[in-house]
Structure 1
């Protein structure tokens, strides 16, 4: 029994003691390092703008509910306005269908059902949108708004911003060590601290305000105001050895 205990103790010692020796060696010769964070930001003008347009049937004689302008007529106007503005027909798609009951008298049952359709128009520039809306009967536009924006090369821009943030971290480590007469060694660790991609908030324009103003002119001029930019920013942390 004593021999078994002694043998176990010797085996345990063979495992533990080298490990402790290794730890002591590591503590006596710690790696000298510097950890810094770098930041980079980029602003890009969107080249993918998704514009929502909702069309709704209406009566030319609302009081008598006569001469209904159907949704297909309004749709033809929209398609023609899109192609006349230089956009391909494929850029326009139907996103939803709906409708509502039209009441001639609140005390009576609804007399007709008026259909509505929502479309999504994908464009690469926003300066032609005013011209598109101006060619559609204003009474048939329920609402119009920029739903979202994006950029076709967004992933490439993200990579570049990360690289720029790492370069900023290295530059910071260099001048900090230079102030102490030390030199930068090899990189030990790289970490992504945070990502921030800011998209401009969607813009909404009620038809009874926007299209009434357009109806006053034969043709609405194209806007020369650039759309708000997408902001991409990264913060990267890097650890370097001090030589």
Structure 2
């Protein structure tokens, strides 16, 4: 008796649930409506380029380990070069400090510790880096490479892309209803479905960033650099009343 009652309750529940879900969906807006998704994308050229630069001490006479050029001298050269390029002090910051053991002849001379420092430099274009690095002793530059790129108006662009995606959703709803001789009413709901931000690394067409070149600043030519664009895309969903 109890078994039959339980089975009957389960069957009744399975029949009611789909119907209840349908009623809930219809009552959500209380009016005939249409839901659509709109997509928009924007591509922008980066105007913020972040370089990683590493300086390290060295000996002018490597064989005899004499006349060491210390990290303080190299750092002063870099700071002055940044200032001469018209960049603010905040454009250059220390990102790391370290060093390495320099071995020449273990039997005759002990190993010496040479200090190294890493920096992050923010510039608006790679051409700036050419002039800056040409004023630093090339033997003291361990490397200089791109860390990341960004855009100063990224948040403004994100807002605009969202707006464009929402407008695209409205246009889609309008032409779909027009095909059925219906008109679009007021908006009932707006949802942000997904966000996609793509920040590529620059692609260098020609390697003119002279981190290791012993050239004067006047001799440095402009870098031939092609950048992949930053891509910002959004998908927005909107529900509208059908008049």
* Structure-2-length-normalised TM-score: 0.78
What do the CA deviations read for 1:77-128 (whole angstroms, capped 9, x no partner)? 1112212222123321211111111112367885211000111112233321
Residue pair 1:165, 1:235 contacting (<8 A) in 2 also:
yes
What do the CA deviations read for 1:109-164 (whole angstroms, capped 9, x no partner)? 85211000111112233321111112222211111112122222221211111011
2:100 corresponds to which residue? 100
1:46 corresponds to which residue? 46
Q: CA deviation at 1:51?
A: 1.5
Residue pair 1:147, 1:202 contacting (<8 A) in 2 also:
no
Superposed counterparts of 1:64-75, under 5 Å: 64-75=64-75
1:12 corresponds to which residue? none
Structure 1: runs of 5 or more not aligned: 1-19
Alpha-carbon separation, structure 1, partners of 2:32 and 2:47 = 47
Superposed counterparts of 1:7-18, under 5 Å: none
Structure 1 pair 71–138 and aligned structure 2 pair: CA distance change class (3 A)? same
Superposed counterparts of 1:152-167, under 5 Å: 152-167=152-167
1:136 aligns with 2:101: no
Superposed counterparts of 1:74-93, under 5 Å: 74-93=74-93
2:169 corresponds to which residue? 169
1:35 aligns with 2:35: yes
Q: Please give the root-mean-square deviation of Cα atoms over the aligned residues, in Å.
A: 2.9
Which has the larger Rg?
A: 1
Deviates more, 1:119-128 or 1:182-191: 119-128
SS of the counterpart of 1:160?
Answer: helix
Structure 2: runs of 5 or more not aligned: 1-19
Alpha-carbon separation, structure 1, partners of 2:57 and 2:159 = 47
Aligned residues: 216
Alpha-carbon separation, structure 1, partners of 2:196 and 2:107 = 54
Alpha-carbon separation, structure 1, partners of 2:102 and 2:83 = 32
